[in-house]
Every structure is written in C-alpha cells, then in structure tokens.
Amino acid sequence: MADYRYTTLACDLAQPHVLLVTLNRPEVRNAFNTQMGQELLDLWTHLSVEPGDLRCVVLTGAGDQAFCAGADLKERKGLSPQAWHAQHELFERTFWTLGDLPLPVIAAVNGPAFAGGLELALMCDFIYAARSARFALTEVSLGIIPGAGGTQNLPRAVGERRAKEIIYTARPFSAEEAYQWGLVNRLCEPGEVLPAALATAQSIAANAPLAVRQAKKSIRYGGQMEIRTAYRFEVEAYNQLVGTQDRYEGILAFNEKRKPDFKGR
C-alpha cells in the first residue's frame, strides 16, 4: 500500500486490502477546512488512479464526539465571495471524486453527521451508524443550501418528499429515523460501528475486486439511464470481466470446492 501521510486525515491498512480513512480533527468535531478538502481530494485521486491492492475503503471520524460537523465555519468567517467560491470549488471536486471512486466506500458514522458531514456520508456507497449518531442538513439555517450533492443524493436515498422536509426544516434526526427511511444500512451500538463496517469491508475485499468495481460502475451510472440503455450498460460492464483471470479462478475454485484466490487481474 502507498504511504498516505496527511495532517487532517489518518490512513491505515486496517486489514488486508482494506484502507481505513479517519477524519482527524476531533477538536472541531472533524469539520473539514480547506486543508482537509485538499488532502481528501489528493487521497481520492490517488485511489482512483492507482489503488494498488486496495479493494475497499472505510471512512470514519476521530474521537467519539462526531463523524463530521461539516465545513469549518470558523475558517469561513470573513471569507470574501471570491474566496468562498474558490473554497467551494475545491470541496465540489473533493466530493465528486469520492462519488466516482472505483473502490467501494463504507461510511462508519460514529457520531453526528451534519451539513457537509452528512453529504460526505451520502457520497459513500452505504452507511453504518451508531445508534447515538444524529444527522441533519442545516444549510438553509445558514443562508445557503446543501452544495456537495445533498439535494441530489438525499432524495435518492429517502425519497423526494422526505428529503424536502429534512432540507427545508434543517432539523436534526436520529439514527433510528435514518435507518427507517433507508439512509442507513445498519445500526450499531456505540463503539461497534467501526468493527461492523470493517467486517463488511473484509467480506467485500474477499470477492473479485474487478467484479466489485464493475458492479459499482453499473449501479452508479446505469441508475441515471433509461432502463433499456441501462441494461446494455450492465452487459458491457459484465463483458469486461469474461476474459479476466479472476473469472477463471472463480469458476475453477467453485468446481474444486475451495475458496478463490482473486488477484484483481
């Protein structure tokens, strides 16, 4: 694995093929500032271009106070409109690059995920959350709107009417509500969300990595297409795997009644 060294992030190989990324500003509830935006963009870009032997990413927050409180509003105080736009352009690229990442990403939400923090979790493939976590998109209470995918990803997760209520009111909601509405895949007791996410990441990493990436691509892009076009897109993604070594290994291992040894080739 490449040596990812950052100031606002901690990156560790949690287990074979699984990278644990921790938002590491607990003193400000892991709010992201310009530097964190730059470092996250650098990380997602490197993982997109050269993932090495990594097959899954788990994203969480440092400490026990929050997953991510969103953008650092203290840093934003006094920013000119030009500086605000420049910073937001960085954040846009950071979030979009995460959304396009070929590797699956699991958000392990260990505490409150507000504003951009919830948008960050929504950019991941799915979310596990501690029962004590809370969620909100608070932007309209600050004179702005969600601008890192929130108005698009939230309706796709919970439905348009529920998303309108969440965004228009800016009210926080519980992890239990998030689970009931389909935003969160699994609820965990405090302290158990990260182990649960890592266990699922290990299950993902045990599968053929090229197949997982093609499945993610088919789901992400096919979902934006007319259904017959999406069927064809799926078949094209499928056909990319027929000649791979992993496909041969998967069939051979099944017939030999053993666990496959996938190489990502």
How far is it, in rounded angstroms, from Cα 162 to Cα 232? 32
How far is it, in rounded angstroms, from Cα 131 to Cα 193? 9
Catalytic residue chosen out of the listed positions 139, 189, 236, 256: 139
How far is it, in rounded angstroms, from Cα 45 to Cα 30? 21
Catalytic residue chosen out of the listed positions 39, 75, 89, 119: 119
Please give the biggest Cα pair distance in the chain.
Answer: 66
130: phi then psi, degrees, rounded to nearest 5:
-70, 145
CB atoms within 10 A of CB 213: 20
182 touches 158 (CB < 8 A): yes
How far is it, in rounded angstroms, from Cα 265 to Cα 251? 15
* DSSP one-letter code for 63: S
Q: Is 50 a catalytic residue?
A: no
Angle between helices 150-158 and 116-123 (to 10 degrees): 60
From 216, 238, 234, select the one nearest 101 (Cα to Cα).
216
CB atoms within 10 A of CB 144: 13
Q: How many whole angstroms from its chain centre is CA 59?
A: 7
Q: Report residue 57 as tokens.
A: 């990413």
Q: Is 119 a catalytic residue?
A: yes
Catalytic residue IDs? 119, 139
